[in-house]
Amino acid sequence: EDGIRDIGVTGVQTCALPISKAVISGNITLKSSGEVDAMRAAGRLCGQALDAVSKAIRPGISTFELDAIAEAVIRDAGGLPTFKGYFGFPATLCTSLNEEIVHGIPSKKRVLRLGDVIKIDCGATLDGWIGDAAFTAQVGGATGKPKKLMDATAAALEAGIKAMQPGGFLGDVCHAVEVVGKGQKYGIVTRYCGHGVGRRLHEEPSVPNLGVPGTGVPLVTGLVIAIEPMFTLGRADTVELKDGWTVKTRDGSLAAHFEHTVAMTDDGPSILTLP
């Protein structure tokens, strides 16, 4: 119980119910293997949209054009752009440049320049199930400090995924992310975090980017979470812009963000958002 509070998750009980039950708390919904398969189809579509966007990133293209590419991939496959209309968000992608961390709004006025660091976050809904994933890229190719930051953030995501082992706890995942960020002395954004995902984009449990091993929700088969480390070259404090969406670093430092939707299986983690 102490461990639950440690990672900031409220209203969740651990091990109070047999793990064979459909839910491990009133708010965490476990997915059957058939449901995980359906989520993988949605996740693959999300991954394919991101893949298409990744290939289109170049100097001179606007974030509006990138958004249109992602929306076409999703709709052509019979899916729906999850973010569009979510609390009124106007687009398929969140496109966040340089000191922006997450939730940037695509625009014809935001044209990519050589060296820009762009974060692309996408949600795809297929047959009612959702995949959520994100990546960061530097326009023209990654180099120098931005490359180190992006590599570390991607490595933190990988470490978080690898920490999803049978018998483990959510705190193991959060801690694995934290260790990579701290090892490089990067700012670790904690105001925003990962989350459960399924038929809804944001489900319980919250998946913070720091935590205590051996604490929190048990990693039982059927748990599906979006793990999404956000690191900065400076401090971790954030501010929201007047557009009501875009989140940037308070100190203006560069930020990176990577995300996958991952299912817990009997054998460990299975990434659902690969193309």
Q: Which residues bind Mg ion (CB under 5 A)?
A: 121, 132, 134, 226, 259
Q: Give me 265's structure tokens.
A: 């299986």
- Please identify, using beta-carbon distances, which residue of 58 and 200 lies nearer to Mg ion: 200
CA distance from start to end of the chain: 38
Runs of H (alpha helix) within 62-143: 63-76
- Please identify, using beta-carbon distances, which residue of 3 and 256 lies nearer to Mg ion: 256
Q: Of 51, 122, 47, which Cα lies nearest the Cα of 82?
A: 122
Nearest-angstrom CA–CA distance, 69 and 51: 10
What's the closest the beta carbon of residue 156 comes to Mg ion, in angstroms? 15
What's the closest the beta carbon of residue 226 comes to Mg ion, in angstroms? 4
- Please identify, using beta-carbon distances, which residue of 132 and 204 lies nearer to Mg ion: 132
What's the closest the beta carbon of residue 265 comes to Mg ion, in angstroms? 20
- Please identify, using beta-carbon distances, which residue of 38 and 134 lies nearer to Mg ion: 134
What dihedral do alpha carbons 11, 15, 18, 19 form, nearest 10°?
90
Q: Which string of DSSP letters, residue by residue, matches 198-234?
A: SSSSSEEEEE-S---TT-SSB--TT-EEEE--EEESS
Nearest-angstrom CA–CA distance, 89 and 91: 6
What's the closest the beta carbon of residue 126 comes to Mg ion, in angstroms? 16
What's the closest the beta carbon of residue 193 comes to Mg ion, in angstroms? 9
- Please identify, using beta-carbon distances, which residue of 134 and 220 lies nearer to Mg ion: 134
Residue 67 φ then ψ, to 5°: -60, -40
Nearest-angstrom CA–CA distance, 73 and 64: 15
**Number of residues in the chain:** 275
What's the closest the beta carbon of residue 15 comes to Mg ion, in angstroms? 26
- Please identify, using beta-carbon distances, which residue of 4 and 122 lies nearer to Mg ion: 122
* Residue given tokens 């490595």 in the structure block: 155
Q: Could you tell me if 107 and 93 are in contact, meaning their C-beta atoms sit under 8 angstroms apart?
A: no
What's the closest the beta carbon of residue 19 comes to Mg ion, in angstroms? 25
- Please identify, using beta-carbon distances, which residue of 3 and 123 lies nearer to Mg ion: 123
Q: Give me 147's structure tokens.
A: 């490359």
